[in-house]
Amino acid sequence: MGFSKQINGLDASADDRFVSQRTLKGHIHSDGVALHSGEAVSMTLIPGHADSGIIFKRTDVDGQDALVPATWDRVVDTRMCTTIANDDGVRVATIEHLMAAFAGCGIDNVLVEIDGPEVPVMDGSSGPFVMMIESVGVVEQDSPRRIVRVLKPISVEDGESRASLTPGPYCTLDMEIDFDSRAVAQQALSVGLVNGTFCKELAEARTFGFLHEVEQLRAAGLAKGGSLDNAVVVSGDEVLNEDGLRYDDEFVRHKTLDAVGDLYLAGGQIIGGFSATRTGHALNNALLRALFADDDAWCYDMSRGDEVETAVDGGIFAETVSGVSV
């Protein structure tokens, strides 16, 4: 996502208030299981150069063909996860939880080396990735952080599902979900991504699925690695996990986590309000495509300290609007 220091008519070198880009202080390695393929996966996170963005590298593929930039226009599949691919068809799937961790921890540049076509699911949340990032630490870089500022309302719909972006001084998310199961039912959450809110309120929320859909998913080559160790499993109106839920409204929190990861494919933090009802990976990506298709709806800008202070002073925090517990 390379860009110069001249952004939106502002010279970053002349403004010492800009927020610097950040990357990891060192390498991080982890092993795990892929949620959908069920295969063992090894992954290494490597500090990235300023302005390089987030790039995946398939170590099981030779040469430059192995590189896959994590951007909205590289999304090629949204069935049960977000999958990106390069021009040669090299894919990386289930990137949303890792992307959400990068967004929540303010990581702009990193190279993700992976020896297969899918990111490890870990425990089904972003929590393990956040812990990995916190364990190695982050370092600021000598380049301003790029943001995507929403300039006018943009919305997309698909049946009863809808999602929108509106102008605003910081990043806020309003999410509503509605499922037939009483274990999930109707839930809503409003959250602002400031002052560590993602790590405190969203990162630990796990992906979820319904037992009656497992056979159908596996027949389609999906969810082969899914288990009670890496997902909340709902059967009828009951949660099957022995320890229950981490939050009474864990389902809507995870949907919000997914949206954070999907929206970070914009190539920078979106500054504006995101609102969605019954959304998923497909509609999240459709919203980004609609945004970037309208040159009057957005602009690149640099993140500055006064924006962060405004967000904190505004008292933005995670708030459950309504929820149904098991």
CB-based contact 151:296 (threshold 8 Å): yes
Residue 3 in any domain: the answer is no
Q: Does the pLDDT value for residue 2 go beyond 70?
A: no
Per-residue confidence band for 36, with pLDDT thresholds at 50, 70 and 90: confident
Q: Does the pLDDT value for residue 90 go beyond 90?
A: yes
For the chain, how far is it from start to end, CA to CA, in angstroms? Answer: 43
Name residue 11's amino acid: D
> What is the per-residue pLDDT for 65?
80
Q: Does the pLDDT value for residue 168 go beyond 80?
A: yes
Per-residue confidence band for 214, with pLDDT thresholds at 50, 70 and 90: confident
Residue 1 in any domain: the answer is no
> What is the per-residue pLDDT for 303?
87
Residue 9 in any domain: the answer is no
> What is the per-residue pLDDT for 110?
98
Residue 200 in any domain: the answer is yes
Separation of alpha carbons 185 and 278, rounded Å? 12
Q: Does the pLDDT value for residue 257 go beyond 50?
A: yes
> What is the per-residue pLDDT for 38?
87
pLDDT digits (tens, 9 = 90+) for 279-298: 999 999 999 999 999 999 99
> What is the per-residue pLDDT for 15?
52
> What is the per-residue pLDDT for 6?
42
Residue 11 in any domain: the answer is no
Please indicate whether residue 95 or residue 37 has the higher confidence score (pLDDT). 95
Separation of alpha carbons 20 and 309, rounded Å? 15
Least confident of 21-30, 123-132, 201-210, 310-319: 310-319
> What is the per-residue pLDDT for 1?
41
Among residues 118, 85, 70, which one has the least CA distance to residue 261?
A: 70
Per-residue confidence band for 217, with pLDDT thresholds at 50, 70 and 90: confident
Specify the number of domains making up the chain: 1
Which CA distances in Å does 245 have to 107, 210, 253, 283, 325?
28, 15, 11, 26, 9
> Within a 10 A sphere around the Cβ of 150, how many other Cβ atoms?
23
Residue 89 in any domain: the answer is yes
Its domain, for residue 72, covers 19-322
Compute φ and ψ for 146, nearest 5 degrees: -85, 135
Residue 7 in any domain: the answer is no
- DSSP state letters, 78-136: -SSS-EEE-TT--EEB--HHHHHHHHHHT---EEEEESSSB-B-TTSSSHHHHHHHHHH
Q: Does the pLDDT value for residue 67 go beyond 60?
A: yes
> What is the per-residue pLDDT for 94?
96
> What is the per-residue pLDDT for 314?
34
Per-residue confidence band for 194, with pLDDT thresholds at 50, 70 and 90: confident
Q: Which residues pair with 47 in a beta bridge?
A: 110
Residue 8 in any domain: the answer is no
> What is the per-residue pLDDT for 224?
81
Least confident of 55-64, 82-91, 96-105, 301-310: 301-310
Among residues 250, 256, 211, 267, which one has the least CA distance to residue 97?
A: 256
Per-residue confidence band for 30, with pLDDT thresholds at 50, 70 and 90: very high
> What is the per-residue pLDDT for 146?
94
pLDDT digits (tens, 9 = 90+) for 134-166: 999 999 999 999 999 999 999 999 999 999 999
CATH for 183: 3.30.1700.10
Check residue 63 and report its DSSP letter: G
List the catalytic residues: 281
